[in-house]
Amino acid sequence: MLVQQRTIKHPVSMSGTGLHTGNIATMTFKPAPENYGIRFRRIDLGGSPEVPADVDHVVDISRGTTIEVGDARVHTVEHVMAAIVGLQIDNILIELDANEPPVGDGSAKPYVEVLLRAGFEMQEAAKDYLIIDQTVHYHNEEKKVDIVALPTDDYRITVMVDYNNPALGSQHTGLFNLEKEFVTEFAPCRTFCFLHEVELLHEAGLIRGGNLDNAIVIVDRKLDDAEIKRISVKLGIKDAVILGSNGVLNDRPLRFPNEPARHKLLDLMGDLALIGVPLKAQILAARPGHASNIEFARMIRKLYQKKKIIRKYQHERKEGVVFDINAIKRILPHRYPFLLIDKIIDFRIDEKIVGVKNVTINEPFFEGHFPGQPVMPGVLILEGMAQTGGILLLNGIENPGDLLVYFMSINNAKFRRPVLPGDQLVFELTLISRKSKICQMKGMAFVDGTLVAEAEMMASLVPRNAAQQKTGGESGSSSNPLSRSTPTMN
């Protein structure tokens, strides 16, 4: 696998009809700079808006993968994405004058041929591989789908499909060498559907550009001549239609005996390209589809975002520790005597975080709270929760040092038992909702597994400069200095 990023040398174009929309489109691939990624640009819309090709922008998975930003939508991107990732291209701009790429022959081969004609250009920047170092498993019981990512030092995919349909049966396939196998063994594999699905897809507003030249139609039921003629007229198929004898409508020859399984692998490659970085992983998939592919891609993208954040702040790897105190000080503005967490031991992007505070007799607040009977103030337990929660909000923030977390409300705060010198507080914060700069979290504090405090918190992310203007230049606390709702512990 390549070490450096690469793009294409020259712009290249192709034109044709979109599979699902039926719209005529011209698509132009253009070179892009380092770390640009993969983006679609809708040049038919005002301002030529761009849509980053990642799972954060997926809005529809109806028999294809659709991405969108604002009013700019691009349908059925998976075959184009498979071609790009299969050729190990990192940075590229794809211009479209309609809302769906040309379908070509229903495979990734037309895109691969165009991109090979453009040639490749190596770039100075290193590839940002996501190296899977732990098992990641997606399971959908209802659809009997399993997708697993396992650690390995290259990129491999194995796919098994079984539709419980005698017209297709069970099939499996595997890609084990991207450079040697993708262009010849997988890129040419065409999209397919079952005969019983054709009318349903058409009635759902899909396959408007589909025909027998860009899709394999698998015959899974008997039809008489009158029914065949009715379907042909309804779908606007002008060519003669016969049921055929090889299990494919009109006896279209398959390019490989297991072409449907190979196309499913192609779809999976394209959908996983929406993670946004190249992978080093062994992917095993049973009965994958676009919905499951995208859910799995979201799981992997969260793992990538987590690793990226950890790499940015945690400079020394420590067993059982996500962020040590030095990393915490790089993230939070708080300092002695108001930095109230010592380490983070669990961190799940946009979900949950666990922080630890070792409570010692050297804490300055014990001097007066209370003389002879030291008890940690409840407001400081809440502050420790809040600081832990502030780290949970790291995702999507480029420069967290430029922001402060101010509380808007603290509700249902309860204190179950006193926290004393020698105790180790474990803060667990769960994200309830996040809208723009407003976040809701549920916080719990434990000592030796016993719940000692809990609260629901709403906070606002405020630019540090704006906060300084409002407070006359003071900053540093994550607690709202104007809040009167913060409970105390007597």
The predicted model gives 207-211 an average pLDDT of: 79
* Residues 140, 289 contacting (CB under 8 angstroms): no
Question: What is the structure's pLDDT at 244?
Answer: 62
Q: What is the pLDDT of residues 60-69, one digit of tens each?
A: 998 799 999 9
Q: What is the pLDDT of residues 183-203, one digit of tens each?
A: 999 999 999 888 777 777 777
For residue 282, give Cα distances in angstroms to 52, 151, 455.
25, 6, 42
Mean pLDDT of 45-69: 96
Q: Average pLDDT in the 86-114 region?
A: 97
Q: What is the Cα–Cα distance from 410 to 389, expressed in whole angstroms?
A: 13
Please say if 369 is a catalytic residue: yes
Contacts of 124 (CB under 8 A, 6+ apart): 4, 5, 34
Q: What's the confidence (pLDDT) of residue 195? A: 78
Per-residue model confidence as pLDDT tens digits over 267-298? 999 999 999 999 999 999 999 999 999 999 99
Whose tokens are 């474990």? That residue is 426
Percentage of the chain modeled with pLDDT above 70: 89
**Residues contacting 59, CB < 8 A, separation 6+:** 66, 67, 68, 73
Give residue limits of the domains in the chain: 4-126, 136-311, 314-470
Residue of 291, 318, 225, 286 lying closest to 78 (CA atoms):
291
Q: 120-134, 219-233, 354-368, 464-478: lowest mean pLDDT where?
A: 464-478
**pLDDT tens digits for range 330-384:** 999 899 999 999 999 999 999 999 999 999 999 999 999 999 999 999 999 999 9
User: Does the structural domain 4-126 have CATH classification 3.30.230.20?
Assistant: yes
Is 75 annotated in the active site?
no
Pairing of strands 120-126, 38-42: unpaired
Q: What is the pLDDT of residue 237?
A: 65
Q: What is the pLDDT of residue 398?
A: 66
- CA 99 – CA 124 distance, rounded (Å): 33
57 vs 462, higher pLDDT: 57
* In the predicted structure, residue 482 carries a pLDDT above the cut 60: no
- Model pLDDT, residue 480: 36
User: Taking the model in full, what pTM does it have?
Assistant: 0.85
| CATH placement of domain 136-311 | 3.30.1700.10
- Cα separation, 242 vs 250, in Å, equals 5
How confident is the model at residue 206, as a pLDDT? 75
Report residue 163's pLDDT band, with 50, 70 and 90 as the boundaries: confident
- Give me the chain's average pLDDT, please: 89
| Confidence at residue 474, expressed as pLDDT on a 0 to 100 scale | 36
In whole angstroms, what is the distance from residue 381 CA to residue 479 CA?
Answer: 12
What is the rounded distance in angstroms from the CA atom of residue 177 to the CA atom of residue 485? Answer: 61
Domain covering 314-470: architecture: Roll (3.10)
